A and B are shown apart, each in its own frame.
Chain A
Amino acid sequence: MNIKKSLKGLVALAIAGSLSSAAVAAPTNAEIFDMMQEMKQELKNLKAENNELKGTVQEVAVSTDEAIKAQIKLANKSHWGGYGELHYNNLEGQGPGVSDTKKIDFHRFVLYFGHEFRDDLRFFSEFELEHSLAGDGKPGEVELEQGYIQYDYNETTQITAGLFLMPLGIMNETHEPDTFYGVERNTVEKNIIPSTWWEGGLMVTKELKPGLTADIALTSGLEGTDAKSYKIRDGRQKVAEADATSLAGIGRLKYTAIPGLELAASLYVQPDFCQENVGGCGSAKMIETHAVYKKDKFQVRALYARWDIQGNAVAAKGADQQDGFYIEPAYRYNDKWGAFVRYETYDNAAGSATDTEVDARSIGFNYWIDPTVVAKFDYVDQSKANDGDQDGINIGIGYSF
Chain B
Amino acid sequence: MMSLLLVTVTSLFARGVYQTDDDFISETFLNKPPENSSIMLGGDVRKKVALLLGHPYGGLIIKYWEKEGRTAWILKEIGKTEPITFGIVIKNSKIEKIKVLEFRESRGWEVKYPAFTKQYNGVGLEGDKLDKNIDGVSGATLSLWAMNGVSRVALYLSTTIK
Cβ contacts under 8 Å, B13 to chain A: 155-156
Binds A, one of B3-11, B67-75, B89-97: B3-11
Indicate if the CB atoms of A59 and B46 lie closer than 8 Å.
Answer: yes
Interface membership of B159, Cβ < 8 A: no
Indicate if the CB atoms of B1 and A60 lie closer than 8 Å.
Answer: no
Tell me, in angstroms, the Cα distance from A142 to B142 when the chains sit together.
28
Tell me, in angstroms, the Cα distance from A74 to B133 when the chains sit together.
29
Indicate if the CB atoms of B58 and A204 lie closer than 8 Å.
Answer: no
Indicate if the CB atoms of B106 and A204 lie closer than 8 Å.
Answer: no
Indicate if the CB atoms of A79 and B133 lie closer than 8 Å.
Answer: no
Indicate if the CB atoms of B106 and A66 lie closer than 8 Å.
Answer: no
Indicate if the CB atoms of B43 and A156 lie closer than 8 Å.
Answer: no
Cβ contacts under 8 Å, B60 to chain A: 60, 63-64, 67
Among B9-64, those with CB < 8 Å from A are: 9-10, 12-16, 40-43, 46, 56-60
Indicate if the CB atoms of B6 and A153 lie closer than 8 Å.
Answer: yes
Q: Interface size for chain B: under 10, 10 to 19, 20 to 34, or 35 or more residues?
A: 35 or more
Tell me, in angstroms, the Cα distance from A382 to B75 when the chains sit together.
50
- CB closest residue in chain A, given B5: A206
Interface membership of A152, Cβ < 8 A: yes
Tell me, in angstroms, the Cα distance from A366 to B83 when the chains sit together.
30
Binds B, one of A12-20, A28-36, A267-275, A294-302: A294-302
Indicate if the CB atoms of B138 and A256 lie closer than 8 Å.
Answer: yes
Indicate if the CB atoms of B137 and A256 lie closer than 8 Å.
Answer: yes
Interface membership of A154, Cβ < 8 A: yes
Tell me, in angstroms, the Cα distance from A207 to B15 when the chains sit together.
11
Tell me, in angstroms, the Cα distance from A64 to B57 when the chains sit together.
10
Summarize B's interface: helix, strand, loop or mixed: loop
Binds B, one of A39-47, A191-199, A210-218, A318-326: A210-218
Indicate if the CB atoms of A204 and B139 lie closer than 8 Å.
Answer: no
Q: Which of B16, B40, B60 has the most CB of A within 10 A?
A: B60
- CB closest residue in chain B, given A209: B12
Interface string of B119-149 (1 = CB under 8 A from A): 1000000000000011111111100010000
Least Cβ distance of A190 to chain B in Å? 20
Indicate if the CB atoms of A216 and B2 lie closer than 8 Å.
Answer: yes
Indicate if the CB atoms of B81 and A79 lie closer than 8 Å.
Answer: yes
Interface membership of B161, Cβ < 8 A: no
Q: Which of A119, A158, A256, A262 has the most CB of B within 10 A?
A: A256
Interface string of A277-290 (1 = CB under 8 A from B): 00000000000000
Indicate if the CB atoms of A154 and B46 lie closer than 8 Å.
Answer: no
Interface membership of A51, Cβ < 8 A: no
- CB closest residue in chain B, given A294: B135
Indicate if the CB atoms of B139 and A174 lie closer than 8 Å.
Answer: yes
Least Cβ distance of A176 to chain B in Å? 9
Cβ contacts under 8 Å, A206 to chain B: 5, 8
Least Cβ distance of B65 to chain A in Å? 21
Indicate if the CB atoms of B59 and A67 lie closer than 8 Å.
Answer: yes
Cβ contacts under 8 Å, A383 to chain B: none
Cβ contacts under 8 Å, B16 to chain A: 155
Indicate if the CB atoms of A256 and B139 lie closer than 8 Å.
Answer: yes
Tell me, in angstroms, the Cα distance from A150 to B81 when the chains sit together.
15
User: Which among A55, A63, A74, A155 is the interface contact of B41 at CB below 8 angstroms?
Assistant: A63
Which A residues lie at the B interface, using CB under 8 A? 55-56, 59-60, 62-64, 66-67, 69-71, 73-74, 79, 81, 114, 116, 119, 122, 124, 150, 152-158, 170, 173-174, 179, 204, 206-211, 214, 216, 256-260, 262, 292, 294-297, 371
Which B residues lie at the A interface, using CB under 8 A? 1-2, 5-6, 8-10, 12-16, 40-43, 46, 56-60, 78, 80-83, 104, 106, 109-110, 113, 115-116, 119, 133-141, 145
7 smallest CB-CB distances across A and B, nearest first, come from A70-B58, A260-B135, A262-B138, A59-B42, A66-B56, A79-B81, A259-B135
| Besides the known contacts A63-B41, A153-B6, 17 further A-B residue pairs in the complex with CB atoms under 8 A apart | A55-B43, A56-B42, A63-B46, A63-B60, A67-B58, A74-B58, A79-B81, A155-B9, A156-B14, A207-B12, A209-B10, A211-B115, A216-B1, A259-B115, A259-B116, A260-B136, A296-B135
